[in-house]
Structure formats: structure tokens, C-alpha cells
Amino acid sequence: MMCFPRRLRDMVPLKISFIYLVISVLWIFSSDHLVGLLFTDSQVITQAQTFKGWLYVGSTAAVIYVLLRREIATYASTAESLRKTGQDLLDLLDAMPVGVALTDGTTIEYINTSFSERFGYSPDEIPTDEQWFLLAYPDPIYRRAVINQWQQELASAREQGVPIKPIEVRVSCKNGETRQVIANAQLIGNRIVVIFTDITERELLRNELAKMQKLESIGMLAGSIAHDFNNILTGIMGNLSYAQVLLDPSHPAQGPLASAEHGTTRAVDLTGQLLTFARGGEPVKKILNIGELISESMNLMLRGSKVRGVIELAEDLWWVEGDGGQLSQVLNNMIINALQAMPDGGRLRIGAENLRLTPSAGRSLPPGNYVHIEIEDSGHGMEPAVLERIFDPYFTTKERGTGLGLASTYSIINRHGGGITVDSSPGQGARFSVLLPATETPSAITEVPEPGRQPTKAVGQRRILVMDDEPAICEIASSMLNYLGYEVETCSGGAEAVTRYQQARAKNRPYDAVIMDLTIPGGIGGKEAARQILALDAQACLIVSSGYSHDPIMAEYQKHGFKGGLAKPYRVGDLARMLAAVLAE
């Protein structure tokens, strides 16, 4: 019902009464005077007075009718104008991209459409402030803190006349989501208008940026450490594998050597985790069947455990373009994390489905096709403080944890153009959600044969040049190549490699292949040396080698003129297969 201003309501009766009084006074004086002038007979005067009275009644009724009709028309026009203005105001509030609520401090009188759509609650579900606080802040401790802050701000505003300070809160929505919002309130008489600005996406982006900055900060250090460590491991692993092929298979030293090589392999895995943080590192991508990777990781990691695994894969699951080794590492890390959360057994579910992200999906990832992977366990869950730091490098809640597992997982997924989130609460398990860019067109997957124990020797003499700044690597590479039947020369830098290559061509004794270290501190590395050699001989057979196996050049060595890429550390068999492959072309 539309209400008129009180002043307007009081003026209307006063206006009509005044008009009626004026007409009555004028009629009485003028009509009596006129009758006295026109008639002298008392009987005629009486009849004239009676006629005058009826005429007065009729004329005043007509005047009042006209006045009332005019006023009613004015009121109707005003009411329609006010109704339209009120509706325009409501439409404006509903169109606002923020939640708006009006309350008298006890009863919620109005909420706009954005409020209902964002938080999921209808006006019937939150008729009072108390009901809103119960639903929006289910945790009693957090709810009490919010209510106390809210009441303090209201009291200060009413007593001191100061503006109400904005409050940043976490609101629990009807669908179970938690939204980060800023509540701005304003006193209007006895009512309070509250505007809720959703900053969830902004906070997510800010947290993502903070994580990326942390990863970048350790990436610069991780790359150099892993590179140097892999150079050391190349000498160790190379000598171990070389010793194994030199000794008879029945020799007693074979067992200790195999154990030492296994330990070196574990060290290589650790440097692999460090390299996922390294600045500039890129995964070596190919088209993968992610469903097969999930099945392999689940079967491998759950073997011998008390946990029951469940795999749910969409029948038409899209393929993923990625680094198979790195993505297997991601799955293994998350499965290990789930197993550690269920020491007494439980249920681990991994599901994968196709997902098309639209521009309106509200995600930080660009629109497109993705494979959505969910890893859900029935473990003990995580506290909010742990949840906030779960992907931070070196953060761990385990006594023997390194804090690199989930941090490297986050880095790998990010390098693949995807995203990862986690949802958990104490006693409710944890659910990791991974999105990876998908491709609907599979391609043939080249199977890489397992390294054999006995390498194949070269047929005939082939000349190989090894360029590396580490004398130990040059020495072991030379020994392994000599064993394989190659003629070997070594040098320590790119400039010397170019000179030797040019001199060998001039003597008509060219090198059949050149193995080049990618990074030479303070000198010319493999990339620049390859450019200069290819300028001399476009058909040169060049192999790039680096302890920084995720370097972009290692991932796309063909684009830089190399025929192959040999990641450090490597065994005799790795070296034999690489040379056999490139020299057979």
C-alpha cells in the first residue's frame, strides 16, 4: 500500500474546509441581502429562504464533488508516480552486482536478487537477523566473533555518529560454498542498509599470485642446485652403470652396485621435484591418455595398503597434452598424501570427466576444454590453517615430510596451464580438484623401451666429441663411449667445440656426433655452440645434454637444431640408445 507524506494528508482536509467556509460565508451574506432587496412579503421571503437553502445545499454539494474528484485525481497521479519510482528503485537494487539487505536490527525487511543468487537464501529462509547469522556463519566461534564486531560497530555509529567500518567476513552459502565478502553498512533512521561485496575471486587470484611468487623465489635457487646436483649424479650413476657392465653378472659386487644405483635413482627423483620449481622449466609434452596414468598410479601406490581404491572415469574421456612423468608424479604425490591421511585404512576415489569452461564459469582459468580430475579420501581432513598453506613449498605436517610433494604438484599443474584446488574440513576427508587442458584428438604414443642391462656396441668406429665443463663427466662419458666402441674426444667449452669441429672437417675426419652440455658458466653453452656448428655444417648431428632436464631447449630440442636430448644423469644404456637412434637417421 502506497503511503502519502503526512503533511500532504493534513493539507487536503484543511484546504477543502477552507473553501467550504468561504463559500458558505459569501452565500449567507449575499443571499440574505439579495432576498431582502427583492421581496417584502414575509410569506414570499420564507419561500425564498427555503429555496435559497436547497440551492445552497445543491451548489455546495456540486462544488465539493468537483473538489474531491480533482483531489482524488491528484492523489491517484501522485500514487502512480510514487509506485513507479519505488519499482524503479527496486529494479535498480536488483540490478546491482552486489548483495543488498535492509533490516531494522531484528527483522530483515528486504534483500535484492543478487543477494539471493549469490548466497542462495530466499527471504523466507532468513526472516530475521538471528536466522541469517545462524545460516551464514555456522561455526559458533566464528559467528560470535562476527556478531560482536557487528554490534560494536553499530553501537559506535549510533552513539558517536561515526560511519560504520566495513567488515570482511566468510559467508557460508546454501550450496555449501564459502564466499569471502566485505559488508558495508549505513544507518538510515532506525533501519540499516548492508551491502555485501563479493571478493572471493579477487582473493583467489591474490592467493594464487602469492603462491606463484613463493614458487618463483625458490625456483631461481632450485634450478641451479638441481643442475649442479645432476652433474654430480652423472659421474656417480655413470660410473656405477659402467662398473656393472664391466663386471661379470655373477660377480659379488653386482648386488652392492645395483643398490647404489637404486639409491642414486632416488636422488634423481628428488632433483626432479626441485626442477618442477625451476624458473623457466617447461614440461616435455605429448598426447596422453590420462585415464591410463590414473589407473597405473592407483594400482602402484595402493599395493599392500589398507586403503580401498575406486576409479570412476568417463567413457569418452578427452586426451591431455602433457608430460607423462610429471603428471604421474602429480598423481603419486596426491595418492601418497591421501594414504598418509588414512593410516588405518579407508576409501580413496579418483574420478575424471570432461568439462567445458565458459567465460561465465567464474574460474581463473581461460574458457575451453578441460579434463576434471577429483581425488577424494575419507581421511582425517585438514584444519583451515593447514588448508591455507597446503601448497606452500617446504610446509609439512609430517615428521619426515620434505614439504615438496604438494608444492611440486601445484607447480606442475600450473606449468601445464591447469589449476588445482582442495576442499577439506576436520574429520571430513579431503577432495582435490585438478583441471588440465584437454585435446579431443588423440595421437600415437611412442613407447619408450625400458633400459636394458647390456648396451649394444657400435658397429665400426665412429667419432664422438663430448663438450662439458665438468672434468668428471668428460672422463666417465669418454670411458663409456670407448667401451661402446666409439672414438672419443672431449673439450670443456662451446668455443673450443666449434674450433675442434671445424678442424676435424678440414682434416676430413669429421665427428659423427657431438654431445654438448647446455650450460657452461662464463662461456659459450650448447645453444650458441650449436648455432655456430650448424652454420658450418647444416647436417651436423648434435645432442644436447643438461642436468636441467626441464629447460625449454630440452623440451623442444629439434627447434634449436639438435637431433636428440640426453638428460643428466645417464647410464651406459641411455648413452648407447641415444647414439644408436640419432646415428641411424
Rounded CA gap, 230 and 274, in Å?
Answer: 11
Kindly report the backbone phi and psi dihedral angles of residue 283, in degrees, each rounded to the nearest multiple of 5, phi listed first. Answer: -70, 150
Q: Is 288 helix (H, G, I), strand (E, B) or coil?
A: strand
Q: What would the grid cell of residue 82 be?
A: 510514487
Distance CA 543, CA 554 (A): 10
pTM above 0.85, yes or no: no
Torsion angle of alpha carbons 324, 430, 414, 371, nearest 10°? 60
Helix or strand holding residue 308 (H, E): strand 307-313
Q: How far is CA 423 from CA 76, 255, 313, 367, 374, in A?
A: 57, 46, 21, 23, 11
Nearest in space to 348 (alpha carbons), one of 334, 362, 365, 366: 334
The pLDDT, as a whole number, for residue 570 is 85
Query: DSSP letters of 65-96?
Result: HHHHHHHHHHHHHHHHHHHHHHHHHHHHHHHS
Widest CA span of the chain, in angstroms? 161
Return the C-alpha cell found at 29.
Answer: 451574506
Residue 111, pLDDT score: 87
Identify the H or E element spanning 147. Answer: helix 140-160
Angle at 452 between CA 449 and CA 458, to 5 degrees: 100
State pLDDT tens for residues 171-223: 889 888 888 888 888 888 788 888 898 887 777 667 666 666 665 656 556 66
DSSP string covering 363-399, please?
-SSPSEEEEEEEEEE-S----HHHHHTTTSTT--SST
CA distance 155 to 192: 12
> Which burial class, exposed, middle or buried, applies to 338 when counting CB atoms under 10 A from its CB (0-12, 13-18, 19+)?
buried
Count of beta carbons in the 10 Å neighbourhood of residue 290? 22
The cell numbers describing 189, all together, are 533512521
Q: Could you give phi then psi for residue 460, rounded to 5 degrees?
A: 80, 170
Burial of 329 (0-12, 13-18, 19+ CB in 10 A): buried
- For position 280, what pLDDT does the model report? 46
Q: Is there a cis peptide before residue 569, judged by omega within 30 degrees of 0?
A: yes
For 568, phi then psi, to 5°, come to: -85, 145
CB-based burial, 364-381: b 16+ in 10 Å, e otherwise: eeeeeebbbbebbbbbbb
- CA dist 493 and 478 (Å) reads 16
Whether omega for the bond prior to residue 367 falls within 30 degrees of 0, making it cis, is no
Rounded distance, CA 470 to CA 482, Å? 18
Give me the residues paired with residue 309 across strands: 348
**pLDDT recorded at residue 202:** 75
CA–CA distances in Å: residue 460 to residues 213, 486, 510, 542: 53, 8, 15, 20
Closest CA to 491 of 452, 527, 526, 457: 526
DSSP letter, residue 177: -
Integer-rounded Cα radius of gyration of the chain = 42
How far, in Å, CA of 89 to CA of 111, rounded?
13
Residues of the chain where predicted confidence (pLDDT) is lower than 70: 1-17, 20, 23, 27-45, 48-49, 52-53, 56-57, 86-91, 93, 204-205, 207-228, 266, 268-284, 360-363, 393-405, 440-460, 548-551, 585
Residues 6+ apart with CB under 8 A from 30: none
Nearest to 543 by CA among 523, 560, 518, 563: 563
